Structure 1
Amino acid sequence: MSETLKTKPHFPILDGLRGVAAIMVVIFHLFETHATSHQDQIVNHGYLAVDFFFLLSGFVIGYAYDDRWHKMSVGDFFKRRLIRLQPMVIVGMLIGGALFYFQQAPIWPNIAETPIWKMILVMLIGCTLLPLPLSMDIRGWTEMHPLNGPGWSLFYEYIANILYALGIRKFSKTALTVLVVLSGTALAHYVITSPGGDIVGGWALTGEQMRIGFSRVMFPFFGGLLLFRISKLAKIPNAFFWSSLLVVIVLAFPRVGGTETLWLNGVYEAIAILLVFPLIVYIGASGSLVSNASKKTCKFLGEISYPIYITHYPLIYVYTAWVSRTKPTLSQALPYLCLTFVSAVVLAYVCLRFYDIPVRKWFQQKFQR
């Protein structure tokens, strides 16, 4: 590295919001197992947390790197992003591989027929985050990462980072605004006219799914970057409470409209992504934490957010397989649902403390001098 770059102070409330959204994702996925369609899903819009993560990332990337390019090369930037993201990608895939054969159930007949060599090959490719074609789908859900489904969003996160580093970082505010308006228009058009009336998708290596993936990352990520560049932050009291409450409300909000008016739900999601999420990030960035309790809470939520997001889904697969085999009611399944949630938090914390932090520290000492 050409020069040592000191770590900037974080926005602690934004760290906390990332953790709130990550926990909502886990809750959403647990209840999704018991839904028969998007219409009766509990914590209905939890999948929008991905779009919120992208917007947060764009804002934070702008804050962390926009003024550093005179000290940092593109290669340095990629090293820093890889050190931050890739260790947990690897451990998430390893956990997915370790639990794969515990997920045999009627919902996934492919699992019992998958030879171990093929599972290991899928796991090793998954550790690189390179997307897998449909021919390598060993589960049957057309995921580009069938051992750990949420890996698809990290794939698009990397793409956004590459686009930022290779050129978009140089965009003027006017050029960036044009990009954000065009990508926002494309996102709104898709979600309002989509067959399901929602933005769900992006996890498969098909033309339609890749359109969804790019629609979901381009506006939020570069909208977050634009928000950082044009914002004049205010002093908003109780910002963590209000912004986290808004996150929970947006992600838990019931389905809008019915099967005859799917476009209404698309309008809701377009408003949430294009308007409400930037407002939430602005509120969070404009606030400060006063009490030690709130500082510790945001610190814990921020630290656990990425590990829980990238490691929880193999446990969701196991829970989904159990539900598929035994077909319990929600009340009967509730103890196991809670156990899975607690296990996801504990697993993430263990990975954070005993793997992610020391591994990143070692890489930083070796490659970021």
Structure 2
Amino acid sequence: MVRFLLALCVVVTHSPGSTIFGFTMMNGITAVQCFYVISGFLITMILNERPEYQSLGNFYLSRYLRLWPVYILVAGLTLFFFQQPTFFSQLPALVNWPTYVWVLFSNLTILFQDWFVFLKFNNGSLSFTPAFEALTGPQPYWFELIPQAWTLGIELTFYAIAPFVCRRWWGAVGLLLFGLCVRLVVGMYIPTNGAWLYRFAPSEMMMFGAGAVAYFVGTIVCPRLPRTTVALGSIAILCFIYLSFCDDSALNPMFEGLSGGGTSYKLKLVNYPVLLLLACTVPALFYVTRNIRLDRMLGEMSYPIYISHIFVFSLINTYLPASWQKGNALYVLSVIIVSCGMVIFITAPIDRYRRHLSSPAPLVLGTKVPA
């Protein structure tokens, strides 16, 4: 349920006027960082409780298959419907062949998608830029087939290091502190927000680290205090249902008694109380929902929703009359329907193969978890 709502927050954030039926939802920045916390928790859990993931090959293959099939379908459809002239005419005229190959490689594999906003075109080559939003003319980020896939680049960075830092509590704490230190340095020495706000992978390791630390705390607390855990998880679910339907204008008054009104300028964090609430309650959330099939199904839809929503919006905006687009209801409903189809015809078959890499052994915090 929580992952589904967070995905909807991103969808609505990217809709015209950032509304649905005139209502706004929690901003996409906070929703994305909440996903990082949840990912840190789940990945740490499977690394510690799935013996087959002692094999780096099994772990990396399983995680990549979790992301790539849905991604490449949406990327391919985007290229076919909207981006053929861009990739086969405009891009080759702008860059040299190594740069062209790199852009194509990243779009095909997901790798380095988060780098696009830190690079600029310089005489046909790529060079570093600290503020992509200040650039004019065609830039690398124009050539991402799925613009929001930069988050997957950050996710893959976490996957790459997770087996080495998330198997012990002190590794998880180290990841959290590393990300915290990076965010402090960025907050002190980089005046602009832009890409540094929540697209810089080293600073986002704080979110993954928070989720990883939450797992180790949960293994101690949840089995010993099951009733308290259920109560906390149930309250947390209600809180996130409410918070998901609150935009910044509603959240800020709630946090007005806090320093920065819920925004930490030193850490470049928006709505940090929401992130803190999730980090403190994610073990209880999982404990409460671990046997609820509907929650599992909704959670499975969150990734396809996130990956497909801009493509679906482009289709609607291009091919359907404007009168059909009022209120964004058709857009949001279409995203959900498309995502259901991808879960049934892509995610489910791939997961049947991925199960060969994982065992059905029960986990400490629950009976089953997406491998």
> Shared topology, TM-score over 0.5?
yes
Whether contact under 8 Å (2:305, 2:339) holds in the other structure is: yes
The TM-score normalised by the length of structure 2 is 0.68
Relative CO higher for 1 or 2, CA cutoff 8 Å, sep ≥ 6? 1
Partner of 1:55: 37
Q: 1:71 to 1:264 in 2, by over 3 A?
A: closer
Partner of 2:307: 310
Partner of 1:206: none
Partner of 2:175: 179
What is the deviation of 1:151? 1.3
The equivalences for 1:207-356 within 5 A come to 212-216=200-204, 218-231=205-218, 232-233=221-222, 234-237=228-231, 239-240=233-234, 242-243=236-237, 245-246=239-240, 248-249=242-243, 252-255=246-249, 256=252, 264=261, 266-267=263-264, 269=270, 271-272=272-273, 275-288=276-289, 295-318=292-315, 335=326, 337-356=328-347
Q: 1:237 to 1:84 in 2, by over 3 A?
A: same
Amino acid at match of 1:221: F
Pair 1:164-2:155 in alignment: no
Whether contact under 8 Å (1:88, 1:356) holds in the other structure is: yes
Counting matched residue pairs gives 313
Partner of 2:225: none
What is the deviation of 1:75? 1.3
Whether contact under 8 Å (1:129, 1:151) holds in the other structure is: yes
Whether contact under 8 Å (2:10, 2:306) holds in the other structure is: yes
The equivalences for 1:47-126 within 5 A come to 47-68=29-50, 72-101=54-83, 115=88, 125-126=106-107
User: Whole-Å Cα distance in 1 between the matches of residues 350 and 52 of structure 2?
Assistant: 28
> How large is the RMSD of aligned CA atoms in angstroms?
4.2
Amino acid at match of 1:271: Y
Instruction: Specify every segment of 5 or more residues in structure 2 that has no aligned partner in the other structure, as ranges.
Output: 93-99, 127-136, 223-227, 254-258, 360-371
The TM-score normalised by the length of structure 1 is 0.69
Percent identity of equivalent pairs: 17
Amino acid at match of 2:312: L
> Per-residue CA shift, 1:277-330, capped at 9, x if unaligned?
21341441342589xxxx35313311211111112122234567799xx9x8xx
Instruction: Tell me which of 95, 100, 108 is aligned to 1:127.
Output: 108
Instruction: Tell me which of 140, 143, 151 is aligned to 2:141.
Output: 143
Q: Which moved more, 1:314-323 or 1:86-95?
A: 314-323
Partner of 2:96: none
Whether contact under 8 Å (1:99, 1:314) holds in the other structure is: no
What is the deviation of 1:118? 5.5
User: Whole-Å Cα distance in 2 between the matches of residues 28 and 252 of structure 1?
Assistant: 12
Instruction: Specify every segment of 5 or more residues in structure 1 that has no aligned partner in the other structure, as ranges.
Output: 1-15, 35-40, 102-110, 203-211
What is the deviation of 1:28? 1.5
Whether contact under 8 Å (1:243, 1:283) holds in the other structure is: no
